[in-house]
Structure 1
Amino acid sequence: MLSLMAEMHKQVLERLHLEHDLRHALKGGELQLFYQPIFHLKSQQLVGMEALVRWQHPERGLVSPAHFIPIAEETGLIVALDQWILERACRQLWTWQRQSDIAADLRLSVNVSAKTLQDATFFKYLDTLQQRYPLPRGQLLLELTERIGIELGSEILSLLELLRDRDIEISIDDFGTGYSCLSYLHSLPIQHLKVDRSFISQLEENERNVQITRMILLLSQQLGYRSIAEGIETPRQLQILQELGCDYGQGYLFAPPLPPEEFEWLLKAYSH
């Protein structure tokens, strides 16, 4: 019993230290954005990128988002973190669009928490951001988890309509792992469904996953959404997704998440 309590106490202290360090990281330059390219699967053309945050802790080294995002959610730091990511990602794309013709048509995907959408200051912040970095209509895409309906409840439609009114597109992330109701999906102003990597990783070995992925992609087509597959790692996975009619994809087969300077090299390569 004492050893269990000691372990629980240790875990609580660890989380408190991580929360303290994350607050410092938001101000101290320890966070960095990487960009994972997104491609049109049929033409293999570069069409966008997803902004992904990385935390290089001075003592702990690279801290996984799987560790610090839940803490940010629980403590309310997620609102400041989401805004930090949005600010820098929009500024980066806006800068690239002034340097490269190919960047002019790229979509920028950013993950946003339900708590951020509910924050009283968020939409005013978005208005300021769009004035500062006036990206073309539909080029900013916010990714929301499939749990968003449960987390937002009756607020969801009005909040998503506020995004649509600002020409911001919406994607349901990790689709297939939650509890979405089809009638609920149909009623929302969504433009994209993102197939979770857990299905993609098993496409070659598991026929059941092929059928599930087929159903998700068919649903996406029937509802008029664009489909995105994440976690594509092998040529065979790509081939299956092309055969199933998936629109877009990202994964290590194409490129890992890249620091800004390496993404710029990619832009130059595709501009020739």
Structure 2
Amino acid sequence: MFAFKEEFPVGDVASLATADIAIPFYQPIVDRNHQLIGFEALARRWEPRQQRYQGIDFLSLSDEESLHLDIVMLRAILRDLPTLAQSSTSLLSINLNPTLNSPTYQNLLLLVLIQARKVGLDIWFEVLEHAPLQHKELALIEVLRSHGAHIVCDDFGTQECNFQRVLALPYEIIKLDRSLLLQATKSSHALRMLTGLVEYLQRLGTKVVCEGVETQQHIEVANLLGCDYQQGYAHAMPSPLSRWA
């Protein structure tokens, strides 16, 4: 069983710190047997006051700031791909903001796909739950799919990400929002409903990821739900590449 719960030490983090620059932290994704099968790349930025890396609230950023951080992240991921491919994993999941109308950003997305294929990694692109899905965004997503990307619905079950959003685009993987797991731990009715939803999605050929698995109870409920994959602090904290190399 894969398990790695150690937090990234502050002393090690400080040696990597660069002001106002995001770096990718990688959080493992595990299968039904809790074996490592891949990572999600998560943007982290050094916060001097807290003396640690923290997540970034992308919704609070301007389009220009978001674009800058996404480009920085993709370039860092490109450098990390060969090392990730040597860590007994088969996939890497990356957040996708299809609203960013930048040739540099879009070319980097394709370059990541091409380079990942060369080193034997599948790429999942997670469509952010707040991103609009109009003609332009859907066209970019289909270009990425045609080049071998797997398209993921992120945070299904939030207000922004409901069945209307799932109907708008065929997804190969759906990530259940953490709030659904929390409800299933508290209510037998919610557990039955969510189990039925997982079974229905799987009958359609969709893989399901249970996110926010943070305790042993969460692991047990995620097992009962029958999700294909699990992700969360109970399995491993997000950490820099050096932790997994």
Normalised by the shorter chain, which TM-score bucket?
0.7 to 0.9
**Kindly tell me: are residues 216 and 77 of structure 1, through their superposed partners in 2, closer, same or farther at Cα, counting changes over 3 Å?**
farther
Do the aligned residues in 2 keep the contact of 1:54 with 1:62 (CA within 8 Å)? no
Residue 170 of structure 1 aligns with an amino acid whose one-letter code is I
Distance 1:164 1:249, change over 3 A: same
Instruction: Specify which of 61, 71, 77 is matched with residue 60 of structure 2.
Output: 71
Extract unaligned runs of 5+ from structure 2: 1-16
* Alignment partner of 1:119 is 2:119: no
Q: Which structure ranks higher in relative contact order (CA pairs < 8 Å, sequence separation ≥ 6)?
A: 2
Identify which of 130, 138, 143 aligns with 1:147. 130
Q: Which amino acid aligns with 1:161?
A: E
Q: Is the 8 A contact 1:173 1:196 kept in 2?
A: yes
State the percentage of identical aligned residues.
Answer: 28
8 Å contact from structure 2 (residues 74, 108) kept in 1: no
1:244–1:255 distance in 2 versus 1, CA, 3 Å: same
How far has the Cα of 1:223 moved from its partner?
Answer: 2.5
**TM-score normalized with structure 2 length:** 0.79
State the 1:55 CA deviation. 1.1
Q: 1:87 to 1:93 in 2, by over 3 A?
A: same
* Match of residue 207 from structure 2: 226
How many aligned positions are there? 229
Counterpart contact for 2:20–2:46, Cα < 8 Å: no
- For 1:63 and 1:129, the matched residues in 2 are separated by 24
Considering fraction of residues, name the structure with more helix: 1
Q: State whether structure 2 residue 33 is matched by structure 1 residue 46.
A: no
1:235 to 204, 213, 216: 216
- RMSD of equivalent CA atoms: 2.9
Confirm or deny: 8 A CA contact 2:92 2:121 kept in the other structure: no
What CA distance in whole angstroms lies between the structure 2 residues aligned with 1:218 and 1:111?
A: 25
Task: Give the secondary structure class of the aligned counterpart of 1:86.
Answer: helix
Matched residues in 2 for 1:235 and 1:60: separation?
Answer: 28
In the alignment, structure 1 segments of 5+ residues that lack a partner are 1-25, 265-272
What TM-score results when the alignment is normalised by the length of structure 1?
Answer: 0.72
Residue of structure 2 in register with 1:18 after alignment: none
